[in-house]
Amino acid sequence: MAYFICRNEKIREFFITISWISCLFASAWMLYNSYKAEGKEIFMKKVDERDIMFSRLGYLKGTPIYDEYYKEHPDKKGIDDMLRSRPGFGEPGTVAFDEIRSPVGNSGFEFLSDIKHLADKKTDVSPKKLDKRVITDEIKKWTRYFGADLVGIAEVRSEHYYTHRGRPEAVWGQVVDEKATYVIVFAVEMDEEMIKRAPEVEVAIEGVKSYVNSAVIGLWLAYYIRSFGYSARTHMDGNYLGMVQKMAVDAGLGEIGKSGLLLTRKFGSRVRLGAVTTDLPLFSDDKDEMGVESVCMKCMRCVEKCPSKAIQEGGKVMVDGQMEWPAISPEKCYMVWSRMGTDCGLCISECPFSKGISELLLKKSDESSETLKKLLAEE
């Protein structure tokens, strides 16, 4: 048979072609994995902050921003107009509104709005030569002392950043071109008892409190770094240049779960994140590959409990060359927020990781769905 194949010219050419294609594919795959291992960027999914829900909710009819954005995105105009017409966070007319407690959360956001201009200050100090290991350890030590529960460091990747600014209004549409080399990412735990009250007003208050805490940590840390003559930019609520969740994954804080939120080993998604980007030379941390995907695929509690059905069923899909969970629908999610007057939080409170998932359970993540669900119920 082998002799016949070799003597048949067309069949021989066919097998030679298949062999070449296989070799090329194998070479490309090896090159991809070698680049990936070295942390180099091959596929870069870019996100424009002007498109995110929190930016779009601020586009008011009759303004140049409104006209420009919906001229380019007419498909979003109807749903956005409808969502803006509904009551907002902590406002009267929402299910969870309380005239005494709801203003606690709104006051926190007002405070954040008043201090967000401090996120991007310059330094006129000449850079000091510092021992890289010593300053890395000091940065982590003081970040925890300032109030962070988790901290990690990553090299900055272009895909961490938005392409354009979407908020605040004064910088809308500006191209993001920061030249930082490292990012310090930290997490602040949200109180478990407050999160258990989701979707009531308590979950909103705790969320805002954690945003405030992470902002203060980031600002203090940035001021500290600038004292050595290096750039330092805080990324805080209402004033981000990039996606802090992506930064957190690369900094070793956790993995993205089915809910679209960062899941950490210790607190699950029961955290708020902050970050400081800088040109101060630091040592970076390794990613923490916890095995989240296999647990999420057999759990699906966030999918089942989401009142807006914003979290799609199914596993990861290929998006711009990377395997990612199906996108959460921000419009469906915000529909519930505007009805409740809080940021809901059920996907956080229902997640087994947020309740303290054990290392033993993570190791048993290859069990059948029914067995794993039973183990999760016993956690």
- Tens-digit pLDDT profile for residues 74-118: 999 999 999 999 999 999 999 999 999 999 999 999 999 999 999
Number of C-beta neighbours around residue 64 at 10 A: 9
Pick the closest to residue 357 from 268, 260, 271, 291 (CA basis).
268
CA separation for the pair 55, 162 (Å, rounded):
12
CA separation for the pair 363, 45 (Å, rounded):
31
Whether 9 contacts 2, CB under 8 Å: no
Instruction: Please tell me which residue, 336 or 15, carries the higher pLDDT value.
Output: 336
pLDDT in the model for residue 320? 80
Domain ranges across the chain? 49-378
Give helix then strand counts, H and E, for the chain.
16, 8
CA separation for the pair 45, 324 (Å, rounded):
11
What whole-number percentage of the chain has pLDDT above 90? 78
Phi, psi (rounded to 5 degrees) for 235? -115, 110
**312-to-156, 278, 316, 342 alpha-carbon distances in Å:** 30, 36, 10, 22
C-alpha triplet 104, 107, 109: angle, nearest 5°? 115
pLDDT in the model for residue 26? 47
CA separation for the pair 336, 306 (Å, rounded):
10
Digit-coded pLDDT (tens) for 255-294 = 999 999 999 999 999 999 999 999 999 999 999 998 899 8
Residue type, 324: E
pLDDT in the model for residue 30? 47
Q: Could you tell me how far CA 200 lies from the centroid of its own chain?
A: 24
Pick the closest to residue 156 from 172, 176, 139 (CA basis).
176
Whether 233 contacts 278, CB under 8 Å: yes
CA separation for the pair 165, 29 (Å, rounded):
35
Cis peptide bond upstream of 168, omega within 30: yes
Digit-coded pLDDT (tens) for 191-248 = 999 999 999 999 999 999 999 999 999 999 999 999 999 999 999 999 999 999 999 9
Asked if pLDDT for residue 368 goes beyond 90, the answer is no
pLDDT in the model for residue 170? 94
pLDDT in the model for residue 322? 84
Mean pLDDT of 155-176: 97
What whole-number percentage of the chain has pLDDT above 70? 82
pLDDT in the model for residue 321? 82
Digit-coded pLDDT (tens) for 313-328 = 999 999 888 899 999 9
